[in-house]
Every structure is written in structure tokens, then in C-alpha cells.
Amino acid sequence: MKQMRFCFTSILIILAVSFSLSTHAADKQKAVLVTGSSSGIGLKITEHLVKKGFYVYAGARKQKDLQRLNKMENVSSVKLDVTKQDEIDAAVETIKSQGRGLFAVVNNAGVGTFTPMSTFPDDDILWIHDVNVMGPHRINKAFLPLLKESKGRTTIIGSISGYVTGASSGAYSMSKFAVEAYTESLADDLKDTGVKVSIIEPGGYRSKIREKVTLHLLTGKYKLGQNLSDEQKKQLEETKKQNAQLKEPDEVAEAVITYLTSATPKLRYMVVPNKEQAEVTVKTALSRVVQLNADQPYEYTKEELVKMLDELMTKK
């Protein structure tokens, strides 16, 4: 009888400990804010975060997207336009009121349009920068107190267009070049706070941004579902076919997971779907070093540059 009571007591203790651990684990579920999470890379990131046990605050602008995101398990949608300070402030208060804190921010919201640089309208350039550059700045600034409290992390979804550009992609690349500098500056600014900073730089993955860019070129508007002529529909369908041939951005989402879970996160993560995009990006970055070094009073020899490269790669 004593032995039975002992066994029963042991079982109760084990069950109590298990319940305590599971409750503690639930309490420790890390919350992440993802901006621009209604489709494409943002939606993929949201889905992957949930699978890995994170709680996601999914930022979106349209009511139908907010309702759809709200139906996902471990997701709360947040009305959030990164160009509107009142919506950002409201999102901060909403997340504070939930009591989970905030471990990380993924600044994914972004826009793009492609026009020859010499004729690019000023308003379009300012709009791209308002979303792609000032957006992350506003978001990080507003949520920094929560990130400092959790000693958390923030990242921007940049692009290899922050290294590689062309005649018609100048304004988009300008914004992605800008967030390279912003990331480095913010990381240096926050290095003693415990908050980690990074930039994740995707190559060419499947995204609805291509359809929106095509629509803008055809109609001057970015809105999907416009009334189009037969010729415009044909061009849009061609864009959709090309986009469908690209890889889904799961690798970008996995890079976000790697950053958020790494004990020693990196400042930069390049994520490209093939070797060719990796090569052109790295060669373009190196070509700038060659151009910068050439014909200046303190020009380095090839051997000296290789030595610098060896030292930097040893520190990586």
C-alpha cells in the first residue's frame, strides 16, 4: 500500500512538473512583428515563423488581408501602413496590451517601380523611399523600447539590388542602397543595448511586386484588378508567367529563422535562388573596391588587397 501511494505521489509530481514546464514554455513564446505580411515574402515569413513556434503580429493595410491573417493559428493581424505614424503608434499600443512583449521586428513592407533613371518622376522616387527607407526607420524607432526590454532583434528585408542596379531600377536600388547604410549605422548605435540588427538580401524570388510594377508601367497605377485592354492583359499575363517560373521565397523565410535563432547572428544574409545571382552580386561589390582603390595616392597592390581579404574572411 505504501509503495502504491509512493507511485501515485510520484506520478502527481511528474504531472505537476510537466504542466509547469509547458506553461512556462508557453509564457516564453517569442513574439515577432512582420510588416507587409499579406502576400509574397512577408506571408512566407509569417508561415515559417508560426511553424517554428513564434507568435506573429502580422502587419497589413487592407481589411480583407487583416481578416485572412487573423484566421491563422498564433497570428494576430495588425493594421499597419509604415508611412502612417498614427497607425504605427496604434500598433505599438496594441502589441503592448497583449502582454507578450516583442522579441523581433521583420521590416518586410516594400514597394518598387522601374523607369529609366533620367526620366524617373520625383514623386515616385520619394514614395519608394518613404516606404522602403523611412518605413523601417519609423517602425524600429517606435518599437525600440520593446526590443530593448527583450534584448531582441530587428531586421530589414533588403535586396541584392542594394549592390546591383541598372538603367531602370535606379530608384528601387537607391532605397536598397540606403537601407544598407541604415542597417550598419543602427547596428553600431545599438551595439551596447543587447538589440541585434541585420539585413537580409534576397535575389529574384516569386513576388506580386512584379505584377504591380507591370501594372504601373501600363496604367500609371499599382492596384491589382484594374480594367485593362486586351494588349495590357497580354503583357500582364506574360509577367505572371515569368513570375510563376521563379522559386517561392521559402529560403528567404528560412534566413529570417536562422537570424532569429542564431546565438551569433550576422549583420548580412544574402539569399539567392541560384549561383549566377550570387556571383554577379559579389563581383559587383568587389568591382567597387577595385574602382575605389585605383589611381589614388595610397593605392594598394593586388597582394595587399588579397591579404586584407584573407584577414576579413578569418574574422567572419
The x, y and z cell numbers of residue 225, run together, are 484588378
List helix spans (H) across 121-229.
122-132, 134-150, 170-189, 209-219
DSSP 168: S
How distant, in Å, are the alpha carbons of 6, 108, 251 from that of 41? 55, 8, 10
- Residue at 39: amino acid letter: S
Rounded CA separation 125/147 (Å): 31
Dist. CA 126–CA 124, nearest whole Å: 5
Burial annotation 230-267 (CB, 10 A radius, 16+ → b, else e): eebeeebeebeeebeeeeebeebbbbbeebbeeeeeee
C-alpha 210 chain-centroid distance: 18
**From 55, 57, 163, 172, the catalytic residue:** 172
Active-site residue flag, 172? yes
The grid cell for 205 is: 524570388
Please provide residue 199's backbone torsions phi and psi, each rounded to the nearest 5 degrees. -130, 135
Compute the distance between CA of residue 82 and CA of residue 128 in angstroms, rounded to an integer.
12
Q: Which residues are catalytic?
A: 172
